[in-house]
Amino acid sequence: MPRFPDYRAEIGLTPGATPQVRTGAEAIGQGLQALGSGLSEAAIGLAHYQKRARQEAAFDDDNKLGLYKQQRQAALAEAAKTMPAEATGFTAGFAKTGAKADAAFLGSISTGNRERVAADLQIFNDGLMNEASQFEYKGRGTYETNAITAAYQASLVGIRSNPSRRDQALAALNAKIDGATSIPAADRARLKRDIAAGSSIEWAKGMAGSDPDRMHELVWGAKTTIPKGAIGPAQADRESAAMSYFIGRGYSREQAAGIVGNLVHESAGLAPSSRNPGDGSDGSDSVGIAQWNGTRAKSLKAFAADRGKDWRDLSVQLAFVDHELNTDYAGVKARLRATNTADEAAGVFVTDYERPAGSQGGAAASHGWDNRRNQARRLAAGDYKPGEVEEKAPDPVVTSLAPDQRDGLVAYARGQRSQGQAVAQGDLEPRIQDATQALTTIGRYDGQLPTQAEFTASYGPQDGARRYSDFQRTVSLGADISAIRAMTPAEQTVWLAARAPKGEGPAFETQRQLHERGIKAIALDQAFRRKDPNGYVRSLHPQIDRLWTDAGTSPERLRAALAATNAAMDRLGMPTEGRALLPKAMVDQALSAFGDRSKSLAERLVPLRAALSASADPGAQQAIFGQMVSAGLPPALEYAAIAYAKGNAPLAERFAAAALGTGGKATGGADDASFASPAAAANTPAGPAPMRSLSGPAIDLGTAAAQALGSSLTGDERTSRAETVRTRMIENAMRNNGRDRLAAIAQTDRDRASLEEDGWVPGMFVREPEGVAPVQVAQIAHASPTTATTSNLIGIANGQMGNGAQNMGTKSRFDTFPIGQDVISYLIENAPEMEMDFQTSVDTSRSARLDQKDIVDGARKLPPGVPKDMDFDTTSRGELGSEGNARAASAETGELLKILRKGQNKSHVLGMAPALRKQLAAMLHDAPPEVRKALSIVSGYRSPKRQKELWDQALIKYGSAAVARRWVAPPGKSQHGFGNAMDLSYDHSSAKNGARISAAGLIAKNWMHANARKYGLIFPLTNEPWHIELVGARTRKK
pLDDT band at 1004 (very low <50, low <70, confident <90, very high): confident
What pLDDT, on the 0 to 100 scale, is given for residue 882? Answer: 40
Domain ranges of the chain: 59-206, 225-388, 403-531, 582-676+713-755
- Indicate the angle between helix axes 714-736 and 703-712, nearest 10 degrees: 70
Average confidence (pLDDT) over 325-353: 91
Asked whether 158 and 206 are in contact (CB, 8 A), the reply is no
Least confident of 66-80, 278-292, 984-998: 984-998
Per-residue pLDDT band at 233 (split at 50, 70, 90): low
pLDDT at residue 886 greater than cutoff 80? no
| Residue at 874: amino acid letter | T
pLDDT at 306 over 70: yes
- pLDDT range class, residue 931, cuts 50, 70, 90: confident
For residue 304, pLDDT beyond 80: yes
User: What are the pLDDT digits (tens) for 566-615?
Assistant: 899 999 998 877 788 899 988 998 899 998 989 999 899 999 988 888 88
Mean pLDDT, residues 934-945 taken together: 87
Least confident interval from 126-130, 687-691, 835-839, 939-943: 835-839
Would you say how long the chain is, in residues? 1038
- CA pair distance 678, 592, nearest whole angstrom: 6
Between the alpha carbon of residue 38 and those of residues 23, 31, 63, 105, 514, the distances in Å are 19, 10, 38, 42, 148
pLDDT of res. 785 = 31
**pLDDT at position 843 over 60:** no
Please name every residue paired with 982 in a beta bridge, in sequence order, or none if there are none.
Answer: 1028
- Predicted confidence (pLDDT) per residue in 675-729, tens digit: 333 333 333 333 333 333 222 333 233 333 333 333 333 445 556 677 888 888 8
Q: Please count the other Cβ atoms lying within 10 Å of the Cβ belonging to residue 122.
A: 10
pLDDT at residue 130, rounded to an integer? 92
Predicted local confidence at residue 564, as pLDDT: 93
- 937: β partners: 900, 984
Q: What is the pLDDT of residue 793?
A: 29
Q: What are phi and psi of 769, to 5 degrees?
A: -65, 145
191 vs 182: CA distance, rounded Å: 13
Confidence of residue 786 (pLDDT cuts 50, 70, 90): very low
Kindly tell me if the per-residue pLDDT of 232 is higher than 60. no
Cβ atoms within 10 Å of 626's Cβ, excluding its own: 22
Helix H or strand E encompassing 691: strand 691-692
Whether the Cβ atoms of residue 399 and residue 435 lie closer than 8 Å to each other? no
- Of the candidates 406, 395, 457, which has an alpha carbon nearest to the alpha carbon of residue 431? 457
Kindly write down the DSSP assignment for every residue of 621-647, as one continuous string: HHHHHHHHHHHT--GGGHHHHHHHHTT
Which is nearest to 223 in space by CA: 444, 468, 413, 392?
Answer: 392
d(CA 266, CA 296): 15
Q: List pLDDT tens digits, range 503-525.
A: 766 567 777 888 888 898 898 89
What average pLDDT does range 101-123 have in this prediction?
Answer: 89
Alpha carbon of residue 210 to chain centroid: 25
Tens digits of residue pLDDT in 128-147: 899 988 888 888 888 889 98
Kindly report the CATH class assigned to 225-388: mainly alpha
> With 70 as the cut, is the pLDDT of residue 288 above it?
yes
Alpha carbon distance 764, 371 (integer Å): 74
The phi and psi torsions of 267 (rounded to 5 degrees) equal: -115, 25
Per-residue HEC secondary structure of 903-950 comes to: CCCCHHHHCCCHHHHHHHHHHHHHCCHHHHHHCEEEECCCCHHHHHHH
User: Per-residue pLDDT for 440 more than 60?
Assistant: yes
Work out the average pLDDT over 902-907: 83
- 588/584 Cα distance (integer angstroms): 6
Q: Is the pLDDT at 771 greater than 70, yes or no?
A: no
Instruction: For residues 1022-1031, give the mean pLDDT.
Output: 84
- Which band of pLDDT confidence, cut at 50, 70 and 90, is reported for residue 820? very low
Q: Is the dihedral of CA 319, 254, 376, 332 positive or negative?
A: negative
From the list 132, 33, 43, 38, the residue with the least C-alpha distance to 87 is 132
The whole-chain average pLDDT of the chain stands at 75
- For residue 419, the model assigns a pLDDT of 86
With beta carbons less than 8 A apart as the criterion, state whether 188 and 177 touch. Answer: yes
User: What are 286's strand-pairing partners?
Assistant: 276
Mean pLDDT comparison of 53-67, 769-783, 868-882, highest-scoring range: 53-67
What pLDDT sits at residue 54? Answer: 82
Decide if 191 contacts 205 (C-beta within 8 A): no
- Report how far residue 418's alpha carbon sits from residue 369's, in angstroms, rounded to the nearest whole number: 41
In 155-241, which ranges are E strands?
222-224
Contacts of 6 (CB under 8 A, 6+ apart): none
- At residue 583, the pLDDT reads 92
**pTM for the full model?**
0.45
Residue pair 639/755 in contact by the 8 Å Cβ criterion? yes
Cα 327 to Cα 315: distance, rounded to the nearest angstrom: 18
Please report which confidence band the pLDDT of residue 536 belongs to, taking 50, 70 and 90 as the band edges.
very high
Torsion of CA 927, 930, 932, 935, to 10 degrees: -120
731 closest CA partner among 722, 740, 721: 740
Per-residue pLDDT, 113: 87
- With residue 129 as reference, give the H or E element that holds it: helix 111-161
pLDDT at 963: 67
In this prediction, residues 242-270 reach a mean pLDDT of 91
Handedness of CA 52, 57, 58, 59 (dihedral sign): positive
Helix (H) or strand (E) holding 46: helix 24-81
Instruction: Compute the distance between CA of residue 978 and CA of residue 963 in angstroms, rounded to an integer.
Output: 23
Lowest mean pLDDT among 86-90, 510-514, 751-755: 510-514
Provide φ and ψ at 339, rounded to 5°. Answer: -85, 160
pLDDT for residue 381 is more than 80: yes
Alpha helices in 452-552 (DSSP H): 452-459, 461-484, 489-497, 506-531, 533-540, 542-551
First to last CA, the chain: 103
